[in-house]
Each structure stands twice: as C-alpha cells, then as structure tokens.
Amino acid sequence: MRRTLDKRALGVTALFAAALLLGYARANEPRARFAQAVASLNDADKSALPSAPMLTVANAIWALGSEEAVRKMLRAELDRVPSAEAKARARAFVRFGIIDSNPDGQAAVFFQACVSDPSLCDRGRLIAAAERETQARLVEPGRHLPLYLMSGHPAP
C-alpha cells in the first residue's frame, strides 16, 4: 500500500516538473529569441534601444507633422534629451533652424547645434546635416535649406 502511494507521489511530482518545464519553455520562447537578437548588437546599439520609441515618434512628426506639431516635439526633445546625448540635441537644433523663418533665429539655433555637437561647427558638415533633415521632411515648411545656410553667412 505504502509503495503504491510512493509511486503515485513520484509520478505526480515528475508530471508537475515536466509541465513546469514545458510551461516555462513555451512562455520563454519569444523572449529567448529577442535576447538572442539583442545579443548580436554592439553595446552602443543596445544602450540606444530604450530611446528608440521616442526617437521614432520624433522622426514621424518631423516627416509629416504640421509646423505646430514639429515645434512642440522639438521643445519636448530639448527638454528630454540630456546634454550628454550631443548628436540627438544637435539634430533637434538643426531641425529647429530649418523650420525657423527668421535668419537671425536660424543663426542662433544653428549656433546651439554647434555648441551641442562641435563637428557641426564646420559649415560643410552643418549643411550636410541640414540637407539630410530636409530630405526626411515630406511637407512644408522645412523641405528646403534655410536662407542662412544657402547665403554666404560665416560658420556659426
């Protein structure tokens, strides 16, 4: 009688363990695939993943958003992005400069871009960065290089 009970207890325990493993494996499969895919990224790409959703929203607004939506987004970006993320802040300033209709305002904003990312103090690089942004913008305003960059103004 006791041996029968022991056998049953062992059977129930084994079945519990097998079901536990099966449940874990099935639920873990997609996460394991994600972990595998992320493992193939370099450290910089991995650390950039959490900010990618916000960056995507900002890019979408820049591509198609109204001028008002773009201005709101850029203000929020500059509030949110820490100064340590120089490239991201500089890009926000470049976008601001592109949609600013006032040449003096453009000069001030492009100077801020240069302060954030010193590589943009080079006029050629600043123009190249602005051209990339104008190509990514699908509606007006902001589809053309601003006057400040097209005329012979000195580098910021």
Partner 1 sequence: MTRARPLGLIWPYLLAAALGYLLGSIAVPASAALGGGSSNTPLARVGFALRDNPEAPQLAAMLDGDLQAVRSSLAVQEREVFDLVVAVRGLDNGGTSDWNRAERICQALTWPRCDREALTQLKVHSVP
Distance of CA 42 to the CA centre of its chain: 16
Query: Of the two residues 54 and 127, which places its CB atom closer to partner 1 in the complex?
Result: 54
Alpha-carbon gap, residue 143 to 63, rounded angstroms:
10
How far apart are CB 30 and partner 1 at their closest, in Å? 4
Q: Is 150 in the site for partner 1 (CB under 8 A)?
A: no
How far apart are CB 148 and partner 1 at their closest, in Å? 24
Report whether the peptide linkage leading into residue 141 is cis, meaning its omega lies within 30 degrees of zero: yes
Binding mask 71-110 for partner 1 (x = CB under 8 A): -x---x----------------------------------
Diameter of the chain by CA atoms? 100
Provide the 3-class DSSP secondary structure of residue 40. Answer: coil
Write down the residue that tokens 């690089």 correspond to.
125
Binding mask 46-65 for partner 1 (x = CB under 8 A): xxxxxxxxxxxx-xxxxxxx
How far apart are CB 135 and partner 1 at their closest, in Å? 9
Output 100-105 pairs: Cβ under 8 A, ≥24 positions apart.
100/146, 101/141, 103/146, 103/147, 103/148, 103/153
Q: Is 10 in the site for partner 1 (CB under 8 A)?
A: no
The token pair at 24 is 């874990």
Query: Of the two residues 77 and 100, which places its CB atom closer to partner 1 in the complex?
Result: 77
Please report, as ranges, the residues that interact with partner 1 according to CB under 8 A.
8, 11-13, 15-28, 30-31, 33-35, 37-38, 46-57, 59-66, 69, 72, 76, 136, 138-140
